[in-house]
Structure 1
Amino acid sequence: MSSDAPPPLHERVLGLFEPTLLLVMAISHYIQVCIEAIKRGEILAPITQTAKLRDEAFARFWIAFTTSRPGPPPPTNEPTQIQPSSLIPPLLKTASGIVLDIGPGTGSQMPLLKSPAIRAIYGAEPCTGLHKALHSKAVAEGLGTKYHILPCSVAPSELLPALDATDTGVTDSHKANGDGIFDTIICVRVLCSVPELDRTMRELYALLRPGGKVLVMEHVVNPWRTAKGSMAARIAQGVYQILGWSFFIGDCCLDRDVEGALRGAADGDGGWESVAIERWMGWSALPHISGVLIKKSK
């Protein structure tokens, strides 16, 4: 049995330092990559090739992080604190049709995308250092022909040409009639790093077919102004940002209003048909939301 009731005070205090471990891990990978570049004779690389080194360091960090995470705890009748990862399986089992998988990383959630209701999956992953692991995962899960890796962000100016390059014809109707492309858009721990999120979500909404859905499980800015939020956790988020969280962890932003951007994406169309979002771990520096937003059918 899982619960989202706040844990004891000492656990909440320790939870404020949870991002510290991730930040230290990411910094260590970045330093190692810089050292390797200097040893190769690229002495100025940390200054002149910062973007390249950040990409390589983040790829290493993310591979190490996703392969070191423990599995779910054994079943118990005692109430346990909800874990964000436990929210993902019931969410992704509803994916269907043509799927856009935003920022799939190493493909850790790919085993959850094997439903016969899914016709094709397009994984938009701008960090090319993760592509090898992502491709290997697709092959291992039997999705080698169904999963298409796109070396781009989800900004339509990059996404649409990358979709065209797959030669699958997935954009034909969109180019001819302005129709939507995707039946499902998956956002799992990725919208924190998407540039110009408000505009990007509005543009992605336009690529969603009528009746299509967005499946979301994201960490968000702490709702410290609400009863379930925490001012201490909100301050901690700001401190981590100052310490370089976004720089070392793939442009991730701890204090981003992801939920606001998701809800506002449909404002120009009269709003979503339905929004079912739940909030979790409001006491922590890594609070989450999860749920489904469905576009109006025509």
Structure 2
Amino acid sequence: MSSDAPPPLGERISGLFEPAQLMIWAMSHYFRVCTEAVFQKGQVLAPLLQTGRLRDEAFGRFWIEFSSTPARTAAIEPNSEDEANNAPVGSSALIPPLLKTASGVVLDIGPGTGTQMPLLRSPAIKAIYGAEPCAGLHAELRKKAASEGLAEKYTILPCGVAAAELVPALADVGVDVDSGGVFDTILCVRVLCSVPEMERTVRELYRLLKPGGRLLITEHVVNPWRTAKGSLAGRLAQAVYQFLGWSWYIGDCHLDRDTEKVLRVAAEGDGGWESMQLDRCFEWSAMPYLSGTLVKKSG
């Protein structure tokens, strides 16, 4: 179901341009990293021959700055900060009630710098494994785990979510997935937009869930412009940002993924999910969200 009403026209128009701020911010970091490589380190051909390394470094710097500056984060999300009481609203408000339900052995996909870690201090959580492929974020992630008292529970996996990387990384820390599901909870917060081969990745995540395990998601998705609450202008804005290089500068993020369809298909082999409780929000914008809980069948 859809859980929000469109704001006034002026705010909707403004919202179509808000992702541009994020893109320009990320671009500035990439050009700065390239400039440093050429003029400070003498790596003249690095922008041509080492684009992967430079992109990783630039995105790491950008994400550290982005995730540690709430006021600037608020500027690029629809209504994301209530200045009167500092309570998160907009897409930020979707996250706390969801993550506070996490329990058991948890897989945290793409934790970044650990901004969601304060929501994972429940004694119901036995262990947390954070799969973060961007090495430039690991130091901040470790620091956050220590500051939140989770250093003993939190294990960083230096890998992406693809099984070819994730399974060996889990084995290296003593987690055997050959027998099937090992996680009680899997967290996907603003991450499925950037994983490679999303359909295959979600199927692999489904396999890693224990029977009765829960997948908790908060993801921006393709604008459902053909529906009553969707927006053709929002969908066109998404296409423009993609064309201008959104994925290149924003860590392979995609604005146009039909995440709900992929999630449904992942469980088809078992006759579907036991339950899917999903809300769709901000369908009028260039960054509509899908948020909720999916439960794997117990048997």
TM-score for both structures, normalised by structure 1: 0.93
2:184 is matched with: 183
Tell me the CA shift for residue 228 of structure 1.
Answer: 0.7
Tell me the CA shift for residue 82 of structure 1.
Answer: 4.9
Alignment of 1:12-161 (within 5 A): 12-39=12-39, 40-70=41-71, 72-73=81-82, 82-161=89-168
Tell me the CA shift for residue 157 of structure 1.
Answer: 1.2
For the Cα contact (< 8 Å) 2:113–2:137, is it kept in 1?
Answer: yes
For the Cα contact (< 8 Å) 2:183–2:209, is it kept in 1?
Answer: yes
2:77 is matched with: none
C-alpha distance in structure 2 between counterparts of 1:81 and 1:37, whole Å = 38
3-state SS in 2 of match to 1:191 = coil
1:9 is matched with: 9
Is 208-217 or 66-75 further displaced after alignment? 66-75
C-alpha distance in structure 1 between counterparts of 2:219 and 2:293, whole Å = 12
**Equivalent AA in structure 2 for residue 24 of structure 1:** I
Tell me the CA shift for residue 75 of structure 1.
Answer: 6.3
For the Cα contact (< 8 Å) 1:4–1:82, is it kept in 2?
Answer: no
After the TM superposition, which segments of 4 or more aligned residues of structure 1 sit over 3 Å from their partners? none
How big is each residue's C-alpha offset from its partner over 1:124-158, in whole Å with a ceiling of 9 and x where there is no partner? 00011000000100011010110000110111111
Is 157-166 or 214-223 further displaced after alignment? 157-166
**Equivalent AA in structure 1 for residue 30 of structure 2:** Y
Count of aligned positions: 287
C-alpha distance in structure 2 between counterparts of 1:74 and 1:233, whole Å = 26
Tell me the CA shift for residue 179 of structure 1.
Answer: 3.0
C-alpha distance in structure 1 between counterparts of 2:214 and 2:84, whole Å = 31
Is 62-71 or 145-154 further displaced after alignment? 62-71
**Equivalent AA in structure 2 for residue 233 of structure 1:** G
For the Cα contact (< 8 Å) 1:102–1:123, is it kept in 2?
Answer: yes
Alignment of 1:206-285 (within 5 A): 206-285=207-286
**Equivalent AA in structure 2 for residue 112 of structure 1:** L
3-state SS in 1 of match to 2:82 = coil
C-alpha distance in structure 1 between counterparts of 2:263 and 2:217, whole Å = 9
C-alpha distance in structure 1 between counterparts of 2:250 and 2:105, whole Å = 29
Give the unaligned 5+ runs of structure 2. Answer: 75-80
C-alpha distance in structure 2 between counterparts of 1:124 and 1:88, whole Å = 19
Percent sequence identity over matched residues? Answer: 64
For the Cα contact (< 8 Å) 1:7–1:81, is it kept in 2?
Answer: no
Match for 2:175 among 165, 170, 191?
A: 170
For the Cα contact (< 8 Å) 2:82–2:88, is it kept in 1?
Answer: no
**Equivalent AA in structure 2 for residue 187 of structure 1:** C
TM-score for both structures, normalised by structure 2: 0.93
How big is each residue's C-alpha offset from its partner over 1:89-140, in whole Å with a ceiling of 9 and x where there is no partner? 1000110111000000000000000001101000000011000000100011
3-state SS in 2 of match to 1:193 = coil
For the Cα contact (< 8 Å) 1:4–1:81, is it kept in 2?
Answer: no
C-alpha distance in structure 2 between counterparts of 1:180 and 1:269, whole Å = 14
C-alpha distance in structure 2 between counterparts of 1:287 and 1:220, whole Å = 6
**Equivalent AA in structure 1 for residue 152 of structure 2:** T
How big is each residue's C-alpha offset from its partner over 1:8-37, in whole Å with a ceiling of 9 and x where there is no partner? 101100000010000000000000000000
Judged with a 3 Å threshold, the aligned counterparts in structure 2 of structure 1 residues 65 and 155 are, in CA distance, closer, same or farther, namely same
Judged with a 3 Å threshold, the aligned counterparts in structure 2 of structure 1 residues 112 and 81 are, in CA distance, closer, same or farther, namely closer
1:288 is matched with: 289
For the Cα contact (< 8 Å) 1:156–1:203, is it kept in 2?
Answer: yes
C-alpha distance in structure 1 between counterparts of 2:183 and 2:27, whole Å = 36
3-state SS in 2 of match to 1:63 = helix
C-alpha distance in structure 1 between counterparts of 2:251 and 2:259, whole Å = 16
C-alpha distance in structure 2 between counterparts of 1:66 and 1:149, whole Å = 18
2:78 is matched with: none
**Equivalent AA in structure 2 for residue 111 of structure 1:** P
For the Cα contact (< 8 Å) 2:82–2:89, is it kept in 1?
Answer: no
Tell me the CA shift for residue 249 of structure 1.
Answer: 0.4
Judged with a 3 Å threshold, the aligned counterparts in structure 2 of structure 1 residues 106 and 279 are, in CA distance, closer, same or farther, namely same
C-alpha distance in structure 2 between counterparts of 1:46 and 1:162, whole Å = 30
3-state SS in 1 of match to 2:118 = helix
**Equivalent AA in structure 1 for residue 164 of structure 2:** S
Say what the alpha-carbon RMSD is for the aligned residues. Answer: 1.5
Tell me the CA shift for residue 5 of structure 1.
Answer: 1.2
Give the unaligned 5+ runs of structure 1. Answer: none
C-alpha distance in structure 2 between counterparts of 1:198 and 1:134, whole Å = 27
Tell me the CA shift for residue 52 of structure 1.
Answer: 0.2
